[in-house]
Amino acid sequence: MNAARVTKFEKPGPAPDLPAEAGTEAVQAIQAIGRALEAHYADLVQAPLPDKFLQLLTRLDDDKSGSKAQGKRDALD
């Protein structure tokens, strides 16, 4: 792996917080790491999301609504 291959990613990386005396190569290396990290993370974020998370939150929300409705019925009895 060399710098030329890593710098193929074109997405902008986070601003490097390097010391002022850091050389150009060091800045470019950190920027290349930033771009690769963003590309890597973007793939993870965009990966298909299992349905079970939506199902879980929907069930929790339905349970909440159900318990509220039951509470109203109990109050009327």
Partner 1 sequence: MPSTSFKDELLSETRNLRAFAISLSGSVSLADDLVQESLLRAWSNSEKFQPGTSLRAWLFTILRNIYYSNYRKRSREVQDSDGLYARRLTVPGDQESHLDLEDFRNALTKLPAEQREVLTLIGASGLSYEEAAVVCQVGIGTIKSRLSRARAKLVELLELDVAPQPPAERKVRRAG
CB of 61 to partner 1, least distance (A): 5
Contacts of 30 (CB under 8 A, 6+ apart): 13, 16, 18
CA angle 26, 2, 20 (to 5 degrees): 5
* Sequence-distant (≥ 6) Cβ neighbours of residue 32 within 8 angstroms: 3, 6, 7, 9, 13
Closest distance of CB 43 from partner 1, Å:
6
Among 12, 40, 66, 69, binds partner 1 (CB under 8 A): 40
Binding residues for partner 1, rule CB under 8 A, total 44
Q: Which residues sit at the interface with partner 1, rule CB under 8 A?
A: 1-3, 5-6, 8-9, 13-14, 17, 21-26, 29-30, 32-34, 36-41, 43-47, 49-50, 52-54, 56-58, 60-61, 64, 68
